[in-house]
Amino acid sequence: MMGIKGRLAIAYVIFLVSFALGASSQTSRFSDFQSSRSINLAVLDSIGTYRRSDFGRRIEQENQGAIKQLEQQNRFFDCVLTVEENRLLQLKPTLNEDEFNELRIRFAATAERRRGSQDEKENQLTEWYRGEQSRYQKALASMTQSFANREGVNFVVESNQVVFFDARFDLTELFIGLMNSEFGDGRANPSYQPALDLIRLTDDNINGLSENSERCRKEWFES
């Protein structure tokens, strides 16, 4: 006669077999709900596409070039203000208090106007940068949509969010080529404006500079 332990062992085996059969049945029933159409998925390194495409690379280079020039202008105006302030202090012994205060107030207003103008340029450059990146993103989204519709791709996933993927499904190199071919560097667009146009020195920036500012001009613009 089979002991209790033997019966329990048989019961446990029967339970495992039943569980496995049930799981298999559930899996089968679940698969019945799947679409008969296979899901096509691809991956894309969007940051790499931006940095290596003509469009994205131009945005970054143009922005960095404008920032460099704006910083140069700021150093120039700081130099000019220092020269003018020193000149004002040199004149102080020759002026009465009212005369000196009038010149000091005028100097402070000039300094505030120049710095405000430079701050406005910086704000415009920031808005330009965001606008250009937005134009790039819209171009990429439009191209991705067209590609997906044409090739029957259901999902395009950011590659750095995927643990593993087959390199054959990586669209990065393909999309860089497509972006370059379809949009170039992004300048051929009615809404495009060169970044340098936003930060050029105007007559309002230059008018009224003291003769002593020539040293600053040579130091920052001719070196």
Q: How many CA atoms lie within 13 A of 81 on its CB side?
A: 18
Q: Which of 9-18, 104-113, 180-189 has the lowest mean pLDDT?
A: 9-18
**Given pLDDT bands bounded at 50, 70 and 90, which one contains residue 93?**
very high
Stated as kind and residue range, the H or E segment containing 46 is helix 46-52
User: Per-residue pLDDT tens for 145-171?
Assistant: 999 999 888 888 888 888 888 888 889
pLDDT at position 209 is 66
Cβ pair 205, 110 in contact under 8 A: no
43 in helix, strand or coil? strand
**Given pLDDT bands bounded at 50, 70 and 90, which one contains residue 18?**
very low
| DSSP-derived pairing of the beta strands 155-158 and 41-44 | parallel
Distance between CA atoms of residues 144 and 192, nearest Å? 22
User: Per-residue pLDDT tens for 189-209?
Assistant: 999 999 999 998 876 666 656
| Maximum C-alpha span of the chain | 126
Distance between CA atoms of residues 19 and 25, nearest Å? 10
41 in helix, strand or coil? strand
User: Per-residue pLDDT tens for 43-87?
Assistant: 999 999 999 999 999 999 999 999 999 999 999 989 989 988 999
Q: What is the CA radius of gyration of the chain?
A: 34
Phi-psi region of 152 (alpha: psi -120 to 50; beta: other; left: phi over 0): left
pLDDT at position 24 is 38
**Given pLDDT bands bounded at 50, 70 and 90, which one contains residue 220?**
low
Distance between CA atoms of residues 31 and 205, nearest Å? 71
Structure letter (DSSP) for residue 157: E
Domain ranges for the chain: 1-34, 35-221
Cβ pair 44, 157 in contact under 8 A: yes
Alpha helix stretches (DSSP H) within 92-199: 97-151, 172-183
Q: Which of 22-36, 70-84, 103-117, 139-153 has the lowest mean pLDDT?
A: 22-36
pLDDT at position 162 is 83
Confidence check: pLDDT of 138 > 70 = yes
